[in-house]
Amino acid sequence: MKIEVNGRPLEVKDGLTILEALKEHGISIPTLCYLENMTPTGACRICVVEVEGMGSLIPACAFPAGEGMKIQTHSPRVRAARKTIVELLLANHPEDCLYCERNLNCQLQDLAHEMGVRHKRYRGERKEYKLDTSSPSLERDPSKCILCGKCVRVCEEVQGVGAIDFVNRGFKTHVEPAFNRGLNVSPCIYCGQCIMVCPTGALREKSSLKEVWEAINDKTKTVIFQMAPAISVSIGEEFGYEPGTELSGKLVSACKRMGVDMVFDTSVAADLTVIEEANELLYRIQNAGKLPMITSCSPGWVKYVEHFHPEFIDNLSSCRSPQEMLGSLLKTYYAEKEGKNPEDVFVVSVMPCTAKKFEVKRPEFYKGNVPDVDVVLTTREMARMIKISGLDFQAMPDQRYDDYFNLTSSAGKIFGSTGGVMEAALRTAYCTLTGKDLQTIEFEPVRGLNGVKEAVVDINGLKLSIVVASGLTNADIILKRIKENPERYQFIEIMACPGGCIAGGGQPKPQDKEIIAKRQQALYSIDKNAQLRLAHQNPVIKKIYDDYLGKPLGHKSHDLLHTHYRERDKF
């Protein structure tokens, strides 16, 4: 199909919108409400273009390209319309850019700069809303909302939760949970995917930096940071590195410079999770236990089951997530060996996930009044902490993780990607069942960023039907299949965030599929080049079992490394 754009003849595929046709040829126009691979709404009109013969300006995201179209992307009329839209949005927006955490990383701010907005032309009645801080993970500031609808659509169409929506009409339109209640009493799973698409500061994680600084400055506390597998390949984006650059050595060094006492890699607890989960799977298979067994590493996914599918709670693995396993060991095994009071051991998890902030508040993960993990920081918060400290991150020397938990397998590292938990567990399940290690340990069918991946794995004659899903609408597809045929699968991995932890709600912004793919590839490169690739071969894990835990699924392991879940109200 032939069209003309800004006087330039182009050939484009049939069936594309004007915006898609322009993107194919590297022609950029601004957007605000647009979400790739989702049905366009054309709500914000920032992407309007002028098409010869049509009286009105056309939203490029929602209008199909047609044969012979003559399109102007930046005509005087188009520029004036876009500028007016931005000015009207700013007229009802709080003027607190200096204090907003999205300052210098705000789509609305960028658009105002791009459109040449230099003074305020429109003034009128202002909408004022209360800040919703009820959630342990997220904060919602409706006064900064520009009604682009991205959060609503991601929550409903990608995650299948529908915790927020538009209410009222006209000037009174705003976004909120049902009955104008707080997020804490909604079915929100705290995945943070709404934060990732919000163009302003209307949605953000609840910051825990104050608590962390207070602990570091308290000399009676032993402050321990644990770093999730996905952190080291994503945090560099906050400091000018290419996505996927592995920077664990610099992270450890930066933490030490900030006054942190010990730094560990959560991947070591992922190795523990692999062993416990593989043994649990085989125990269920051999003892007519509840199948299919479904992974429980993703707290957003677990909360989703508790709200929407409590009939599957017994299918969830009883294994704690890796951050909770390590937190539990730090407050017991480590504290006992070092002669420390668990109350004086302050554990900080650095996670790509906002739902982890909720997870550490669950009563199941307290011993008396002492939480196994005290505080969770997102990747963004960790980067902010480094910047506040005035550290030149790129100049940081590489430093190894501290002893006790300083050796991890790459099986634990790939937990950060969708399919990684499944692959790591299968490597160990094979050895547990056969007594031998696999010759080829890569499970290609569960790799990649597809929302659903399934395969049949032969473990010494035992055929396991497995499936991996990321993103909760994809999870719903799997659950419907199980209801239709309960024996279809034996082992299922589900991650709440599309792509897994590498695309978590606490990761650097912006992120797109290309960035997520680079993070994923980085984890698989670490795995490919590692000398230790099997969790059950990790000598640190063997020592923990020999010295303290006893055996997988044993009494002490069950007490410290496993948990239970409960049904929650939908509203």
Residue in 426, 435, 258, 286 with CA at minimum distance from that of residue 350: 258
**Residue 66 φ/ψ, nearest 5 degrees:** -130, 155
191's tokens = 């995945």
Q: Which of 317, 409, 417, 557 is catalytic?
A: 317
Helix or strand (DSSP H, E) at 10: strand 8-11
Q: Which of 250, 356, 413, 453 is catalytic?
A: 356
Residue 376 CB partners (closer than 8 Å, separation 6+): 208, 323, 348, 349, 350, 351, 353, 356, 357, 359, 360
Place of tokens 């609808």: 149
Q: What is the CA radius of gyration of the chain?
A: 25
For the chain, the distance separating the N- and C-terminal CA atoms, rounded to the nearest angstrom, is 50
29 half-sphere exposure, CB direction, 13 A CA radius: 30
The Cα 222–Cα 256 span in angstroms is: 12
Residue in 158, 468, 506 with CA at minimum distance from that of residue 359: 506
Helices (H) and strands (E) in the chain, counts: 19, 19
CA 35 to centroid of chain Cα atoms:
17
Edge-to-edge strand list for the sheet holding 222-227: 262-265, 222-227, 345-351, 375-378
Q: Which of 50, 139, 276, 280 is catalytic?
A: 280
CA distances from 367 to 159, 254, 263, 516 (A): 32, 31, 22, 37
Q: Which of 50, 139, 359, 381 is catalytic?
A: 359
Question: Is 444 among the residues known to form the active site?
Answer: no
SS3 content of the chain, % helix, strand, coil (to 5): 40, 15, 45
Q: Which of 205, 276, 277, 306 is catalytic?
A: 277
Q: Which of 338, 364, 444, 567 is catalytic?
A: 364
Residue ranges of alpha helices (H) inside 309-419 are 322-329, 335-338, 355-359, 379-388, 410-413
320's tokens = 């704690």
Under a CB-based contact definition with an 8 Å cutoff, are residues 226 and 348 in contact? yes
Q: Which of 47, 501, 509, 557 is catalytic?
A: 501
3-state secondary structure of 263: strand
The Cα 502–Cα 313 span in angstroms is: 25
The Cα 45–Cα 58 span in angstroms is: 8
Q: Nearest-5° angle of CA 157, CA 160, CA 162?
A: 90
Question: Is 359 among the residues known to form the active site?
Answer: yes
Question: Is 317 among the residues known to form the active site?
Answer: yes
Question: Is 297 among the residues known to form the active site?
Answer: yes
- Residue 82, classified by CB atoms within 10 Å of its CB into exposed (0-12), middle (13-18) or buried (19+), is buried
> Which residue type, as a one-letter code, is found at position 433?
L
Q: At how many degrees (to 10) do helices 76-91 and 107-114 cross?
A: 140
Q: Which of 100, 148, 194, 297 is catalytic?
A: 297
Among all residues, which ones are annotated catalytic?
277, 280, 297, 317, 356, 359, 364, 501
